[in-house]
Amino acid sequence: MIRFLVIAAVLFLPSIAFAQAEPVVLKLAGDAAGGQSYSLSMQILIIMTLLTVLPAVLLSTSAFVRIIIVLSILRQALGTAQTPPNQVLLGVALLLTFFVMSPVINEIRANAAEPYAAGELTMQQALEVGLQPLKTFMINQTRESDFNLFVDISRRTDIESVEDAPMSIIIPSFIVSELKTAFQIGFLIFIPFLVIDLVVSSVLMSMGMMMLSPMLISLPFKIMLFVLVDGWALIMGTLAGSFFV
């Protein structure tokens, strides 16, 4: 009988403790404005959940998409399969993204994060205010044709301007525009390296050296051309400048 009671206590005490602790996590507290806000435990839970989707948010709503695609196309055009390695490309893309997004981040911190930390705004108000600079950034980088495409797909008739559109329409429009812009920049980058490959292939064919790989010969010339024109500074400057036009 004692053994049975011990087993029952081991099985049911954790569930009882969890049931007692759960209302504390989900508790709503009143604020100074007469409304309700989530308790500290619930806020921490929401923040930890948002941190798990932070990479997806970064990919979807920042300059990262355009930058990483252009850098990947550049590596492909050079013909260096793993140079620079993926870790280096990601690091460069993240740092350049931080540089491009710095004005947006500063505005979000000044208008939303700091007032929320000071208790002047609730979490919902801080989210609404903080999304405005990000929304403005995405609208400035979105083509009107891409925006109209998703408005037509959603069959929304209450959207009179881009500013009235919800994030569910602005985000996919922004992503499509970024992909299109990235591939346009990548096409222009690819042309001079393609010309070098064609010239080297023609020379090797005329010399009868068909067994020698043209990529092996053209690679040093492409690297030399890229270094002589200061390619990295040119690419980085063009990418960063494309967001401030």
Q: Higher model confidence: residue 31 or residue 76?
A: 76
pLDDT at 184: 92
For the stretch 198-211, pLDDT in tens is 888 888 778 777 67
Whole-number percent of the chain with pLDDT over 90: 9
- pLDDT recorded at residue 164: 77
pTM over 0.75: no
Scanning the structure block, which residue is given the tokens 């270094």?
Answer: 227
Q: Which of 27, 32, 21 is nearest to 42 (CA)?
A: 27
pLDDT of amino acid 15: 41
pLDDT tens digits, one per residue of 114-165: 887 877 778 788 888 888 888 888 988 888 888 888 888 888 777 777 777 8
Q: What is the pLDDT of residue 40?
A: 66
Q: Compute how many other C-beta atoms are within 10 angstroms of the C-beta atom of residue 88.
A: 13
| CA–CA gap between residue 223 and residue 231 (Å, rounded) | 9
Mean pLDDT along residues 156-178 = 84
36 forms bridges with which residues in the sheet? Answer: 30
Mean pLDDT, all residues of the chain: 78
CA neighbours within 13 Å on the CB side: how many for 39? 10
Rounded CA separation 68/71 (Å): 5
Residue 218 and residue 79 in contact, taking contact as beta carbons nearer than 8 Å:
yes
Report the range out of 41-45, 77-81, 125-129, 175-179 with the highest average pLDDT. Answer: 175-179
Q: Which two tokens stand for residue 243?
A: 């967001």
In this predicted model, what pLDDT tens digit does every residue of 12-41 receive, in sequence order? Answer: 334 434 344 444 444 444 444 444 555 667
Nearest to 61 by CA among 95, 88, 101: 101
Residue boundaries of the structural domains of the chain = 58-187+231-241
Buried b (16+ CB within 10 A) or exposed e, 186-218: beebbeebeebbeebbeebeeeeeeeeebeebb
Q: Give the pLDDT band (50/70/90) at residue 78.
A: confident
Q: What ranges in 109-245 are assigned the alpha helix state H?
A: 114-117, 123-140, 144-154, 167-206, 214-228, 231-241
